[in-house]
Amino acid sequence: MLHELTVHNFAIIRDLEISFHEGLNVISGETGAGKSILIGAVNLILGSRASQEMIRTGTQEAFVEAGLTFSEDAAALARRLESLGLESAEFLSIRRGISRSGRNRIFVNDQVVSLQQLQSLARGLISISGQHEHQLLLDSTLHLELLDAFGNLDSLCERVREIHAQWTAVQDELRRLVRTRRERAERLDFMRFQLQELEAARLIPGEDGELEQERSLLRHAATLREAADRVNQVVYARRGAVLEQLSGVEKDMEVLLGIDPSLEPLSVQLQQARIHLEELAHGIQHYAHRITSDPQRLAAVEDRLTQLQRLGKKYGGSLEAMLLRQEELRLGLSGEEDADLREDSLGKSLHELRTRYLAEAAILSEKRRETARGLEMEVGAVLASLDMVRARFQVHFDGPPDDGADAQDPPFTPSGIDRVEFLLSANPGESLKPLAKVASGGELSRILLALKSLLGLRGEAETLVFDEVDAGIGGRIAELVGLQLKRLAARQQVICITHLPQIACYGRHHYRVAKETRNDETFTQIRLLDREARVDELSRMLGGIAISDTTRAHAEEMLRRGEETA
């Protein structure tokens, strides 16, 4: 229940404090005085979007604060606080600040919370029916939500939503896999072509270096042969070659040794030099014999190197990179079997989840149909008390038939397999038609009140707020609406903003909102009226500018009737 509301620098409200009470709290005042601004302040407490435009002109910060309790079960509030990681308490204080600097903060019992935590916490505390909410009844997509709320079907709806979410996730993954496999099939064809091209090249590690060396030898065969022949001539072949001259050196060395044996080491070095030169001569001769000028082989080497260079541009630039790419292609082409198994598994999961979904959705649909019959009867009873005695209200299902026929084609949605629309026949002889086609503004207001009254019985919220529920009604109908609000307020707190005295007279507590202008500033004030002030306010609502004694007497009579009516 909403006990206190404090508003500071919010829209045209500078400072306002109001204490609400049990029963029916009525708020009245001239148009534009700021009554609906109070609804905006309460919406902030419930977690609605905030903007800097809400801050009073000339100020830097606005805040709204509310004090609430759970009227019937204080332990429920404590459990909800604990579930959000907040300290347990029996009283709930919510403060929300809006700053032009963008530093907006939310406090619950002096603890900082996020907007998501506030929205979770505030759920079920206050239900607001705005000025134009009865127009929302024309949107049939909301009718299913109202039906589920009336039947307390949240747990069944949640099960259906969870299974549908799982089914959607599996379906999305399967679609991605199929799409990936389709794209992969195109890639696999290209990968197979690349692998075939690389395997056909018969790549050998290090081959490119060896071919480069061979190409160099073939290109310079004549130069190499000439140089080798010159070396052979100088060292061995021609007259006066190095080895021939070395024989004369050896004879002289023998003379020296015969005289001076200490030169033996030098003699050994000379012998070794001869051996090395002989090996050099032999090796260079062998090398010269191997040098060939083979244009065909050179062309073949050139072609092979050109092939490797061409492949290198496509597969990495080097022979090592090409060999690595070849191995990667082999591994990549070996994973197709795993994708087949995953697709089969997802297909089975999808079928199982669909079967579970249809089973749970069928149970939910059956419960909805049972709930619809009860809703039709109870809405009809409330409408009768609101002077729509001959009206007929029906919940129409556009979904699977009751005989359990094949449910292959019903809507497969998070909310189940049902599409629901409220139908109305407001007058005898008229057929049942959608609300959008037959209901007037006054009829919509009464239907909304009927639904809110019935949902209130189901514990929709601790506090019900009606912002100008009197749209499109007046006279006797307005008095019946006021009486219905008073009956509803016997079970829970109701706050009603109204322009009609026929409704205001039934309030247990009556507040008047007034707008004043001082020193070029506009202020909104609100005060709780005593009985005499209520008569004055009802007179104003009845008579307008000129209030006669007759008008006051009428207001007095209305207030007395409102107080005496049970």
Q: How far apart are CA 87 and CA 78, in angstroms?
A: 8
Tokens of 25: 């709290």
- Spatial strand order of the sheet with 420-425 comes to 392-397, 420-425, 433-434
pLDDT in tens, 470-498: 777 778 888 888 888 888 888 888 999 88
pLDDT in tens, 399-420: 555 544 444 456 788 999 999 8
Q: What pLDDT does 457 receive?
A: 58
Choose among 395, 435, 443: nearest CA to 418. 395
Q: How far apart are CA 290 and CA 109, in angstroms?
A: 99
Q: What pLDDT does 320 receive?
A: 84
Q: How far apart are CA 238 and CA 224, in angstroms?
A: 19
pLDDT in tens, 35-83: 888 888 998 988 888 888 888 888 899 999 999 877 555 566 667 777 7
Q: What pLDDT does 556 receive?
A: 92
* CA distances in angstroms from 18 to 21, 333, 509, 518, 540, listed in the order given: 10, 74, 12, 22, 22
CATH 3.40.50.300 residue ranges for the chain? 1-131+463-528
Q: What pLDDT does 133 receive?
A: 57
107: which residues sit within 8 A by CB, 6+ positions away? 93, 94, 95, 96, 113
Q: What pLDDT does 405 receive?
A: 44
Q: How far apart are CA 300 and CA 315, in angstroms?
A: 22
> What average pLDDT score do residues 454-469 get?
71
Tokens of 501: 């005295």
pLDDT in tens, 197-214: 888 888 888 888 888 887
Q: What is the DSSP letter of 22?
A: S
Region of residue 431 (left: phi > 0; alpha: psi -120 to 50; beta: else)? beta
The answer to whether 462 and 491 are in contact (CB under 8 A) is no
Q: How far apart are CA 289 and CA 439, in angstroms?
A: 114
Class of domain 1-131+463-528: alpha beta
Cα angle 265-269-274, degrees, rounded to a multiple of 5:
145
Choose among 490, 491, 449, 489: nearest CA to 467. 449
Q: What pLDDT does 407 receive?
A: 43
Which helix (DSSP H) or strand (DSSP E) does residue 414 occupy? none
Using 50, 70 and 90 to split pLDDT, how confident is the model at 337? Answer: low
* CA distances in angstroms from 360 to 405, 421, 557, listed in the order given: 16, 21, 56
Q: How far apart are CA 466 and CA 488, in angstroms?
A: 12
Tokens of 148: 């589920």
Q: What pLDDT does 75 receive?
A: 63
* Higher-scoring residue by pLDDT: 103, 472: 103
pLDDT at 319 over 80: yes
Summary mean pLDDT of the chain: 83
Using 50, 70 and 90 to split pLDDT, how confident is the model at 395? Answer: very high
* CA distances in angstroms from 520 to 12, 13, 516, listed in the order given: 12, 14, 10
pLDDT at 539 over 60: yes
Q: How far apart are CA 320 and CA 308, in angstroms?
A: 11
Q: What is the DSSP letter of 107?
A: E
State whether residue 526 is helix, strand or coil: strand
Choose among 107, 56, 115, 60: nearest CA to 86. 107
pLDDT at 332 over 80: no
Name the residue type at position 109: N
> What average pLDDT score do residues 530-554 get?
88
Q: Exposure string (b/e) for 526-548, b if CB count within 10 Å is 16 or more?
A: beebeeeebbbbbbbbbbeeeee
State whether residue 385 is helix, strand or coil: helix
pLDDT in tens, 126-152: 877 765 555 666 777 788 888 888 888
First to last CA, the chain: 22
Q: What pLDDT does 4 receive?
A: 92
Residue whose pair of structure tokens reads 């009206």 in the numeric block: 391
Q: Provide the pairing of β-strand 2-10 with 105-108.
A: unpaired
Cα angle 282-288-291, degrees, rounded to a multiple of 5:
145
pLDDT at 459 over 60: no
Q: What is the pTM of this model?
A: 0.61
Q: What pLDDT does 425 receive?
A: 86
- Spatial strand order of the sheet with 13-19 comes to 13-19, 2-10, 61-69, 91-99, 105-108, 111-113
> What average pLDDT score do residues 456-477 get?
73
Q: What pLDDT does 404 receive?
A: 46
Q: Provide the pairing of β-strand 493-497 with 24-29.
A: parallel
